[in-house]
Amino acid sequence: MGRTLFDKVWDAHVVEALPGDNALLAIDRIIAIEITTPQPAAEIAERFGDRLFDTSSIVALIDHISPAKDTETAIQGQALRKWAKAHDVVFYDIGNNGICHVVIPERGWVEPGMTLICGDSHTCTHGAFGAFALGIGSSVQCGAMLAGSIIQKRQKVIRINVEGTMHPSATAKDLALTVIATLGFQGGTGAVIEYHGSTIRALSMEERMTLCNMAIEAGATTGMIEPDETTIEYLRGREAQPKGEAFEKKAAYWRTLRSDPDATYERTIDIDGSKIRTVVSWGTNPGESVSIDAVVPNGDASSLEYMDLKPGTPMRGIAIDQAFIGSCTNARISDLRAAAEIFKGRKVAVPTIVTPGSQAVKRQAEHEGLHDIFQDAGALWTHSSCGPCLGMSMGVVAPGMRIISSTNRNFRNRMGTGGRVHLATPVVVAASAILGRIATPDELPAEVHA
């Protein structure tokens, strides 16, 4: 019987079948971040003689809060720093770091066929490479640091076929939000989503990462995309990848990681890629999203109340108080280039923050002069951080403030207690920042060149 991409990666990592359809699954890569690693590190030090299974499988970095903003985050960062040094673990410190889901791919630490975990729910991002990558809690991370493996149930696999050429105004984020709206906010629970089809094959690696990043927002364990030449060319020459023959040997294996034509899926969902249009969220979870041309639906009453919205109100035109471009969803160089196109020669109407996904992205953006465009527009250009996405730092909103954001979660209180979040693509955030209301770039007056 044919096997799915997921099956092939899974089967290649099963050490032992365990009761209850569980497997002891070997883990190739552990991303150790400052928020969720000090706890398991302390546990292993206290109870298991500070022995790690394989330090070369671990990559550590200062991720969410960079640099420390207060005593607690300084303690946290220092705990990770000392631990990484003591165990000779690869470590990206402030200045050379960024959001882990941006840094790990750009350094080449994730690759097709790999199993990868991190104590962060958006670890599904790395499935874009055809890896089985999942977010886990600190305890499971502890087990993996100790024994190089996790206990995991074999997953159901949902196939999502997306065919057709995307409209020029549609982005991978719009596709991601469309998938969530189609599956439902918990429609993917207990399953892996495999994305297939011509639309997916045409996506760049950065776009694939944006798409897979939001698999968790449909409840899915992860998203996965078959590796192809786009994947291989992205990884070629990256820091953690070998060169020459050794790389070609790996690439030859990666090319075999395809879903068999007769592979069976728990279910298959077809999406017409040519019909994807700009999507924006109205409610308090990413499933509560609609076309930007739609009106606020007669949805969940408590979501409407929290968001202070009335059904029937056009999404376009909702006044905003702040705008944010950043996060593991949409802060890679292609996102910043797209946003810069919109900001160029224009001025923001509301406080706007642009936060690159990594320091490498920051440097590239500055090399291209994008930082001047953002700052000429009146936006705040920062260093890399998770920032206000999860309400931790650098631009958290006040109660009642409405923010349009290129992030992945519009939960209540997420970007600040009492804050109201509308999820959108970088270009929609940029256009909205300029007009002070939810808007698309085509609503903007012609560029004003100074």
Partner 1 sequence: MIVSGSVVALRQENLDTDQMYPGKYLSLITRKDLGRLLFEAFPKGRELFESHRDASIFVTGENVGCGSSREHAVWALNDWGIRAVIAPSFARIFHENCYSNGVVPVVVTDKAALDECFSAKTLEIDVDNEVVRKDGREIARFTLDPLRKDFILHGGFLEYMATKVDQVRAWREKAPVA
Sign of CA dihedral 385, 124, 138, 397: positive
Residue 141 vs 199, nearer CB to partner 1: 141
User: Is 30 among the residues that bind partner 1 (CB under 8 A)?
Assistant: no
Residue 382 vs 408, nearer CB to partner 1: 408
User: Is 223 among the residues that bind partner 1 (CB under 8 A)?
Assistant: no
Task: Kindly state the number of chain residues that form the binding site for partner 1, as judged by CB under 8 A.
Answer: 66
Measured CA distances, 118 to 59, 122, 125, 193, 359 (Å): 10, 9, 11, 18, 20
What is the DSSP secondary structure assignment for residue 309, as one 8-state letter?
-
Q: Are 219 and 78 in contact (CB under 8 A)?
A: no
User: Is 174 among the residues that bind partner 1 (CB under 8 A)?
Assistant: no
Q: Which of 47, 267, 275, 347 binds partner 1 (CB under 8 A)?
A: 47
Burial class (CB in 10 A: 0-12, 13-18, 19+), 257: buried
* Footprint (CB under 8 A) of partner 1, residues 62-81: 64-65, 70, 72-73, 75-76, 79
Q: Which of 90, 146, 338, 380 binds partner 1 (CB under 8 A)?
A: 146
Q: If you count them, how many residues does the chain have?
A: 450
Q: Are 134 and 123 in contact (CB under 8 A)?
A: yes
Smallest distance, Å, CB 162 to partner 1?
A: 24
User: Is 26 among the residues that bind partner 1 (CB under 8 A)?
Assistant: yes
Which residue(s) pair with 403 in the sheet? 322, 421
Residue 256 vs 268, nearer CB to partner 1: 256
User: Is 227 among the residues that bind partner 1 (CB under 8 A)?
Assistant: no
**Structure-token pair, residue 361:** 């992205």
**Which amino acid does the sequence have at 401?**
M
Q: Which of 148, 351, 395, 441 binds partner 1 (CB under 8 A)?
A: 148
Smallest distance, Å, CB 417 to partner 1?
A: 4
Q: Which of 24, 240, 338, 380 binds partner 1 (CB under 8 A)?
A: 24
Q: Which of 7, 106, 120, 206 binds partner 1 (CB under 8 A)?
A: 120
Q: Which of 151, 202, 295, 444 binds partner 1 (CB under 8 A)?
A: 151
Which residue(s) pair with 267 in the sheet? 158
Residue 21 vs 442, nearer CB to partner 1: 21
* Footprint (CB under 8 A) of partner 1, residues 286-315: 302
Q: Which of 98, 105, 119, 130 binds partner 1 (CB under 8 A)?
A: 119
Q: CA angle at residue 356 from 166 to 408, to 5 degrees?
A: 55
Beta-sheet pairing, 14-18 with 22-26: antiparallel
Whether the link from the prior residue into 67 is cis, omega within 30° of 0, is: yes
Measured CA distances, 145 to 47, 138, 148 (Å): 13, 10, 6
For helices 205-213 and 172-183, what crossing angle results, to 10°? 30
For helices 138-147 and 38-47, what crossing angle results, to 10°? 50
Q: Which of 4, 149, 358, 425 binds partner 1 (CB under 8 A)?
A: 149
Residue 115 vs 359, nearer CB to partner 1: 115
CA dihedral of 176, 177, 183, 188, whole degrees rounded to 10: 60
Q: Which of 90, 164, 412, 436 binds partner 1 (CB under 8 A)?
A: 412
Q: Which residue is listed with tokens 């997420």?
A: 414
Span near partner 1 by CB under 8 A; candidates 102-110, 228-236, 361-369, 384-392: 384-392
Beta-sheet pairing, 149-153 with 22-26: antiparallel
Q: Which of 147, 269, 294, 380 binds partner 1 (CB under 8 A)?
A: 147
Query: Rg for the chain (alpha carbons), in Å?
Result: 21
Shortest CA distance to 33 belongs to which of 58, 57, 50, 53? 58
User: Is 85 among the residues that bind partner 1 (CB under 8 A)?
Assistant: no
* Footprint (CB under 8 A) of partner 1, residues 243-262: 250, 253
Q: Which of 1, 20, 312, 448 binds partner 1 (CB under 8 A)?
A: 20
User: Is 241 among the residues that bind partner 1 (CB under 8 A)?
Assistant: no
Residue 390 vs 427, nearer CB to partner 1: 390
**Structure-token pair, residue 352:** 């706007």
**Cα gap 212→182, rounded to integer Å:** 15
Interface residue list for partner 1 (CB under 8 A):
12, 15-16, 18-20, 22, 24, 26, 35-36, 38-39, 42-43, 47-48, 53-54, 64-65, 70, 72-73, 75-76, 79, 113, 119-121, 135-140, 142-143, 146-149, 151, 153, 185-186, 189-190, 216, 219, 221, 250, 253, 285, 302, 390-392, 396, 409, 411-414, 417
